[in-house]
Chains A and B, each alone.
Chain A
Amino acid sequence: METLAPDLTPEEQFQARIDADIRIEPKDWMPDAYRKTLIRQISQHAHSELVGMLPEGNWITRAPSLKRKSILLAKVQDEAGHGLYLYSAAETLGTSRDQMLADLHSGKAKYSSIFNYPTLSWADMGCVGWLVDGAAILNQVPLCRTSYGPYARAMVRVCKEESFHQRQGFEIMQTLCEGAPVQKEMAQEALNRWWWPTLMMFGPKDSESPNTAQSMNWRIKRFTNDELRQKFVDMMVPQAEFLGLTVPDPAVKWNEERQAYDFGEVNWEEFWSVVKGNGLCNHDRLQARVQAHEEGAWVREAALAHAAKRKAREAVAA
C-alpha cells in the first residue's frame, strides 16, 4: 500500500490518487467540494430512478398482454432497486435518507427532467425503454469507472440490469412498427415527442456547463455532455432507420468527414424551462412522490412496531 509522496498537502495527495485512477472510498480524506458535489449528483440520480417509476407505472394496469405487464412490472421494480443502490451510495458520504427525501419533496433537489414528460400511449413505453434507458446506459457505463468507489460499484450493478430495459423498449417499438399501420403511426408519434427531450437528458452543452470541468478533473465524469449526446445520436439514427421510423430532426445527416451524424440544435429554452419546474408533469410527479411518502407513514411505523413486538416476544421466550 503506497503513500504517494507524503510531503504533499491533503488536496495534492487526493488529486494524485484521482490522477492514478485509485478509487476514493468513504473513509478517505476528500475535499469538501468533492463530497458535496457527489452527494448532490448521487442523490439526484437516486431521485431520478424513483420518479422514473411513475411515467411507466402509469401503464402497468393497461399493458396489452399479461407478459408485457409482467415485464413492465419487473422493469419498474428494477428502477426502485436502482434508486436504493444509489441512496445507499450517497449515504456513505454522510447524508441521510430522510434528508435526501426531504430535499426531493421540498423541490430543493432535482431529478432528471425527462421524467417530467407524460406517457400518452403504449408506444411511449417503447420509447422510454429504447431511448431514455438507452441514453441512461450511455451515461452510466462510463460512471462504472467514476472516482468514488461506492458510486462506481452501484453503477456496475445498475448497468447489468439496464440492458434488459433498453431491449424491452426496442422490442415494443419493433412489434408496433411491424404491426398495423395505425400501430406504426403510434410509434412514430411517440418518437416525435420523446426524441428531443431525450437529447436534453445529456444536460446543457459543454460551453454552458460550468460544473463539467471540475467534474472531469476529479474523474467523477468521464465524458462531456456533448460527447455523450453525439454518441447517442450516432447509435440511435441507424436503429430508427431499422424500425422504419424518422427521427424528428431534418438536420440529421451523416457527415463523412467527421464519421458522425450532424444534427440540429436542441431547444435550450425548453430545456431550462423544464429544469426550472415548468415541464408538463413536474407538479404531478412531485405530488405523487410526496403523497406516496405521507400515505406510507403508517407502513414505516407498523414495521417498527412489529419489530419491537417481535423483539419483546423473543426476550420473554428466552
Chain B
Amino acid sequence: MAPLSFGKEPGVRFAVSKMNNSEWPLWEVFIRSKQGLDHKHVGSLHAADAAMAMQNARDVYTRRLEGVSIWVVESKHIHASNPDEAAEFFDPAADKVYRHPTFYDVPDSIKHM
C-alpha cells in the first residue's frame, strides 16, 4: 500500500476526511456458479470500496469455489419493490393463465409441441 503524499495529490486529504466515518459502506454480493447460469444474491458485507468489496466477497462467499463470477453492488443502489403493495403491483399477471403452455389442449397425436 503506497504512502499518502499530500504534496503531489492535494485532493487526498480532503477525500480521506470525507470518508472518515466509522463504518464502511454496505455492499450486496451476487455470485454465479457456472457459465450460463444467473448471478444469485448470497449476502452482504462492508468494504471501503468496490475493489475491497470484490476481494472480501471472494474470501467470504467462495471458499469452496462456489462462484466463477462475482458482482458487488452498493446496497444503496438497489431498489426493491414494496412488499405491502405486492398484491396490486403483481395483479396484472394473476388472471392471464393463457400465458402458460399448460392452458392449451394439444391433441395426443400431435408430436413436437
Task: Write the nearest CB–CB distance from B47 to chain A, whole angstroms.
Answer: 8
Contact partners of B51 in chain A: CB under 8 A: 307, 310
Tell me the number of A-to-B contacts counted with CB atoms below 8 Å: 84
Decide if B70 is an interface residue (CB 8 Å cutoff): no
**Cβ contact within 8 Å between A1 and B86:** yes
Q: Mark B18-49, 1 if CB is under 8 A from A, else 0.
A: 11101110100000000000000011111111
Decide if A85 is an interface residue (CB 8 Å cutoff): yes
Decide if B52 is an interface residue (CB 8 Å cutoff): yes
Decide if B11 is an interface residue (CB 8 Å cutoff): yes
**Cβ contact within 8 Å between B4 and A309:** yes
**Cβ contact within 8 Å between B48 and A309:** no
Decide if B1 is an interface residue (CB 8 Å cutoff): yes
Decide if B104 is an interface residue (CB 8 Å cutoff): no
Task: Write the nearest CB–CB distance from A83 to chain B, whole angstroms.
Answer: 10
A29 to B12, CA, bound (A): 43
Number of interface residues of A (CB under 8 A): 39
Q: Mark B64-103, 1 if CB is under 8 A from A, else 0.
A: 1000000000000000101110110010001000000000
A2 to B87, CA, bound (A): 7
Decide if B63 is an interface residue (CB 8 Å cutoff): yes
**Cβ contact within 8 Å between B60 and A84:** yes
Stretch of A195-203, A261-269, A284-292, A296-304 lying at the B interface: A296-304
**Cβ contact within 8 Å between A312 and B20:** no
**Cβ contact within 8 Å between B9 and A305:** no
Among B16, B46, B83, B90, the residue within 8 A (CB) of A305 is: B16
Decide if B106 is an interface residue (CB 8 Å cutoff): no
Decide if A9 is an interface residue (CB 8 Å cutoff): no
Q: Mark A66-92, 1 if CB is under 8 A from B, else 0.
A: 000000001001100100110011010
Decide if B15 is an interface residue (CB 8 Å cutoff): yes
Contact partners of A88 in chain B: CB under 8 A: 43-45
Give the size range of B's interface with the partner: 35 or more
**Cβ contact within 8 Å between B12 and A309:** yes
Among A25, A303, A305, A315, the residue within 8 A (CB) of B4 is: A305
Contact partners of A74 in chain B: CB under 8 A: 63
**Cβ contact within 8 Å between B82 and A27:** yes
**Cβ contact within 8 Å between B43 and A154:** yes
**Cβ contact within 8 Å between B15 and A308:** yes
A88 to B33, CA, bound (A): 21
Task: Write the nearest CB–CB distance from A148 to chain B, whole angstroms.
Answer: 14
Task: Write the nearest CB–CB distance from B76 to chain A, whole angstroms.
Answer: 13
Contact partners of B87 in chain A: CB under 8 A: 1-3
Residue of A nearest to B84 (CB): A29
Decide if A313 is an interface residue (CB 8 Å cutoff): yes
A51 to B3, CA, bound (A): 33
Decide if A98 is an interface residue (CB 8 Å cutoff): yes
Among A2, A78, A304, the residue within 8 A (CB) of B19 is: A304
Known: A1-B90, A28-B83, A84-B60. A311 touches B15 (CB 8 A): yes
Task: Write the nearest CB–CB distance from A143 to chain B, whole angstroms.
Answer: 16
**Cβ contact within 8 Å between A304 and B43:** no
Contact partners of B86 in chain A: CB under 8 A: 1
Among B16, B22, B47, the residue within 8 A (CB) of A308 is: B16
Known: A27-B80, A29-B84, A311-B15. A304 touches B1 (CB 8 A): no
- Which positions in A face B, CB cutoff 8 Å? 1-3, 25, 27-29, 74, 77-78, 81, 84-85, 88-89, 91, 96-98, 153-154, 157, 161, 300-313, 315-316
The 11 sampled A-B contact pairs (Cβ below 8 Å) are: A2-B87, A81-B59, A85-B43, A97-B46, A157-B43, A301-B20, A305-B16, A306-B1, A309-B9, A311-B15, A311-B49
- Which positions in B face A, CB cutoff 8 Å? 1-2, 4, 9, 11-12, 15-16, 18-20, 22-24, 26, 42-49, 51-52, 59-60, 63-64, 80, 82-84, 86-87, 90, 94
